[in-house]
Chains A and B, each alone.
Chain A
Amino acid sequence: MRNQRPRVPAAALLALSCLTGCSTTTFKVGMIVDPPTSAVFVNGTRVGQGARRVYDIDFGPHERVCVQATAAGYEPMRELLTRQQVIDQVEKYGDFKWYLKQEK
């Protein structure tokens, strides 16, 4: 009798590796923007306000994400971040901290 290896564990392993691969597109990123009334946008969509919040930053199929912040009376900020920049920030420095400059 041939000793057949069960196929289910291999399929499960493959599914698990896909899930692991997919999960790396989203990162939890803490962000503080001053002034706290600032609106925060990720990829052009408003996601919250300046007081500290943790955002789910999803790269999806893209190489960079665009994070922007704006408040009336202040100069807006825009940063295009790669996955590596996000990972480095979170691991080495923690939250992103942005201070918007007041308009002259």
Chain B
Amino acid sequence: MSVSKRQRARIIRGVQYGVLVVAVVVFALVADWHQLRMAFFDVGVVKALFPEIITTALVNTVLYTLLGFGFGLALGLVLALMRLSSVPPYRWIAITYIEFFRGIPCLLVFIALGFGVPLAFEVALDMNVTVMLSLGLVGAAYMAETIRAGIQAVPKGQTEAARSLGMSHGRAMVSIVIPQAFRIVLPPLTNELILLTKDSSLVYLLGLSLSQFELANFGRDALNEHKSLTPILIAGLLYLVITLPLGQLVRRLEARTAKAR
């Protein structure tokens, strides 16, 4: 008996569903649910985590991220403009900077600023300043390339129209080109914000006091205290509380840009 192509595809799909169902059932029967629940969702531990995991840890994660993002965005814009400058040395500086900071781990920058600078120059930077610089210096390298692409994506006719109205090059950039470029790069910049949110966990390297704990560090500390994976799960979920809406925002912005073109 011959089987048509379509029938064969249906049979294969059925087998795949079957395998999945069997795997789930076997796992549900074999797993020790009590121990899993105690490890990942121990209600007593959850209660002990709140409210500090929100009022201290989540707040600090957001604070560190915004410090790094703000500084990185400003520096990234400057670098993007230098990268597009008609003055060659500006371009060289920008390219060197971007290649360097894009190529090294953020972790290394944290170590350099947190320990290297205080040792070498005998000055201790404020914690928040160290975080801002470390996250921002690396973030700026990525954002500079994004912003540059955005500026170049604005049609040449826009600059020509602005210049033909008597605007200087700088005025045309500020009033006409950069506002349009930012609309174009808003989705990729939001992605960068999500990456920075996660990279902010690197502050643990600096050695934090209790009030400076952010989500990852708070979770690790609570893990030691309670001998439970629950704090890690909760910390992870709280990262998602920050990043999922941002991802949603990116999709919305992309849809809006697609409509406007």
Q: Do A and B bind each other?
A: no
Give chain A's interface residues, CB within 8 Å of chain B: none
Give chain B's interface residues, CB within 8 Å of chain A: none
